[in-house]
Chains A and B, each alone.
Chain A
Amino acid sequence: MKGSLIVISFFIAGIAAGYYGIIPDAEEISGCSIYVLYLLIAIIGFEFGYKNLAATIRGLNSVSLMLPFFTVGGTLLFTIPAWMILRSFPLQDYLAVSSATGYYSLSSVLIMEYKKASAGLGTAAELATIALLSNMIREIISLTCAPFFRRYFGWYAPIASAGVASIDVVLPVIARTCGEKAVPIAIMQGVVLEILVPIMIMSFCSI
């Protein structure tokens, strides 16, 4: 919870600074941020290749590698009704938002940078804000409803609902509700999604 509080306070501090015009050259500053983002992507990719790619390939035919893809599939499928209710943006924008599967910090800045050029600063900020909030909501649901999911939707459900956070924030809750046996599966899902999420967001944003 501490991590999400820090994230939301930086976001709110930025809103306040922008609203009261404390930082005058806001647009100029955010012009450089794309290079910072490239750096972040490079760090994510390098760490995955260095630490996790070999282990992921070794686990290829196991159930634990199928789970992240079920998690993503369910999320993307249920984004369609959300789009049909809301309809403020095209479907691929909502898919970019939901495909974060709880990775609220990275997804919001990725969507902001990616959409800024194609859709304009205002639309990009709207989508990024929705990405931040909806994925935080996902984390809160996962933290609070894990026992309910375990009981009515089986052993994998608390892991799937946690999305990418099954490797860190929600892991203790998963271990408590599903037992220690669930921990390697939860970690595998986190590892796979950490690399799959930026790929999906960037793909949906460039459609």
Chain B
Amino acid sequence: MTPLIVLFCSILAGFLLRRRRLTLLPPAVFNIVIWLLLFLLGLSVGSDRNVIDNLSRYGVSALIIGGLATAGSVLAAYLLYKITTRNHHDEG
């Protein structure tokens, strides 16, 4: 629950301060922190023999999930396209 509270409070804080001139953190800081966390994720994967032994299985899972998720979004976009172009023919 806590991270969601952190998220909503920070959105609110940003919104309330939106008219002030602020120097935001450069995107590089964000990236470096993400890379550090990914290194730590790799560390947990590498030190767990069970996870290491199953890496190829995760690849197959990832292919199925990634492929189907993308297909779902594409079909939903097709549906939206059909709905909107039925009403007015200005797009595409």
CB of A82 within 8 A of CB of B65, answer yes
- Which A184-207 residues have a C-beta within 8 angstroms of B? 195, 198-199, 202-203, 206
The answer to whether A49 touches B15, judged by C-beta atoms less than 8 angstroms apart, is yes
Taking the complex as formed, is B18 at the interface, i.e. its CB lies under 8 A from any CB of chain A? yes
* A/B pair count, beta carbons within 8 Å: 298
Q: Mark A77-108, 1 if CB is under 8 A from B, else 0.
A: 11101100110100000100110010001101
Complex Cα–Cα for A53 and B7 (A) = 13
Q: Are A105 and B70 neighbours in the complex by a CB distance under 8 Å?
A: no
Question: Complex formed: what's the CA distance from A6 to B32 in Å?
Answer: 10
Closest residue of chain A to B75, judged by CB?
Answer: A74
For B44, what are the chain A residues with a Cβ–Cβ distance below 8 Å?
A: 14, 18, 26, 30, 112, 121, 124-125
One digit per residue, 1 when the CB lies within 8 angstroms of any chain A CB and 0 when it does not, for chain B 67-78 equals 111111111111
Cβ of A42 under 8 Å from chain B = yes
Report if A94-B45 is in contact (Cβ < 8 Å); known contacts: A44-B7, A74-B75, A161-B74: no
Q: Which B residue's beta carbon lies closest to that of A67?
A: B80
Point out the residues of chain A lying under 8 angstroms from B34, CB to CB.
Answer: 7, 40, 105-106, 109
Q: Would you call A125 and B48 a contact (CB within 8 A)?
A: yes
- Across the interface, do B9 and A78 meet the contact criterion of CB distance under 8 Å? no
Check A50 against B73 for contact (C-beta < 8 Å): no
How does the 8 Å CB contact mask read for A36-69 relative to B, with 1 for contact and 0 for none? 1111111111111111011000000001001100
Interfacial residues, chain B to chain A (CB-CB below 8 A): 1-4, 6-18, 22, 24-25, 30, 33-48, 50-52, 54-55, 58-59, 61-82, 84-85, 91-92
